[in-house]
Amino acid sequence: MSKENDYRKYLTQYNLNPHKIRTQPPPPDDILRLLGPYERQAVWNIQYLSRPDIIFLNDVANAIIRKHNIGRDHGIEHAHNVAYFAGIIIRQMRITHQIDWSDEQSKLAVITAFLHDCVDEKFGAEVNISTLKQAIQNKFGFGDREVKLFEHTVTNMSYSKRRKNRSSGRPEFGTTDNTEVQYCQIVSDADLLDAYNPERANVYQQGVFGKIDEPPEVINYLVYSWNRTILEKRVMMYLEHFICTDAARQIALPLHDALADYVQHFQDYDLMDY
Ligand SMILES: [Fe+2]
């Protein structure tokens, strides 16, 4: 869907008239500081991957991201962050014996986390999946079972797929196989952890609303109000309803509290007022 269509959809959905939206002053500096920089995690600290592994995965992901002109909100920083979080979660779960994976199994999950968004409708999923399966098989020597795990995970771990499965009464991750569920849980948790980031959400909303033909104060209002609404109504629900592993929950707790402060600062930016 085009950005223009997204915009029209929001206007209709919330009965918004851009010319009647009250104009808000730009957010003060202290609130802007709360956004923080959207920094990638220290990429060389991703667990279970060597430097050559990371360089290879970086080249693969970057090629796909550039080809499909994907914004920073789902760009290489997100790939790094999700792989980083997946590595931390797995290491913690191995220490506490919640999983008994080998280094190779752990490595496969981290690679899957790195590439999880490269197999998505926005990236031309059908084309990518066979290319990516081939690439990881050739590069890392994974067998058929591993490649199948990769494919199942990237096509079933997303928040939207989980919600769809829940509402239709299917298994949440499309499977009852224990290992497949564990892979999905860990990669999904890592993905959700990167959503506790107002600046990333802001980058996304700027992409949606930034180029529409409306006065800056209207765009500003739409960006911040939609951003606040998504963070409050969706991301703030992750901890209670979507995060699966104890390890991810520990990481999410302080992020959740920081996000609650952020949402509070933006309480005047409320789409539901209109
Ligand atoms: Fe993602």
Mean pLDDT by 10 residues, the chain (274 residues): 60 60 57 59 84 94 88 88 94 96 98 93 77 94 96 95 96 97 98 89 81 77 82 93 96 89 78 48
Residue 74 CA to ligand 1 center (angstroms) comes to 6
Residue 239 CA to ligand 1 center (angstroms) comes to 17
Judge if 217 and 245 occupy the same domain.
Answer: yes
| Half-sphere exposure in the Cβ direction for 136 (13 Å, CA) | 31
**How many structural domains compose the chain?**
2
Q: How far apart are CA 20 and CA 25, in angstroms?
A: 15
> Can you tell me which residue has the tokens 């939206």?
21
Residue 273 CA to ligand 1 center (angstroms) comes to 30
The pLDDT, as a whole number, for residue 175 is 96
Residue 159 CA to ligand 1 center (angstroms) comes to 9
Nearest residue to 107 via CA among 123, 94, 119:
94
Cα angle value 102/104/106 (rounded, 5°): 70
Judge if 30 and 144 occupy the same domain.
Answer: no
The pLDDT, as a whole number, for residue 274 is 37
Judge if 260 and 143 occupy the same domain.
Answer: no
Residue 114 CA to ligand 1 center (angstroms) comes to 9
Q: Quick one: tokens of 21?
A: 């939206």
Residue 52 CA to ligand 1 center (angstroms) comes to 23
The pLDDT, as a whole number, for residue 119 is 87
Judge if 49 and 144 occupy the same domain.
Answer: yes
Residue 190 CA to ligand 1 center (angstroms) comes to 9
Judge if 86 and 130 occupy the same domain.
Answer: yes
Q: For helices 159-168 and 178-193, give the axis angle rounded to 10 degrees.
A: 130
The pLDDT, as a whole number, for residue 273 is 44
- Assessment of whether the complete model's pTM goes beyond 0.75: yes
Residues 6+ apart with CB under 8 A from 175: 152, 156, 181, 184
The pLDDT, as a whole number, for residue 201 is 84
Helix intervals (H) in the chain: 3-13, 29-35, 51-67, 76-95, 103-115, 125-140, 144-156, 159-168, 178-193, 198-209, 216-230, 236-241, 246-265
Task: Name the CA radius of gyration of the chain, rounded.
Answer: 19
Residue 23 CA to ligand 1 center (angstroms) comes to 33
List residues, by chain if needed, whose CB lies under 5 Å from ion ligand 1.
117, 191
Residue finishing a domain among 179, 194, 209? 194
Domain residue limits at 145: 42-194
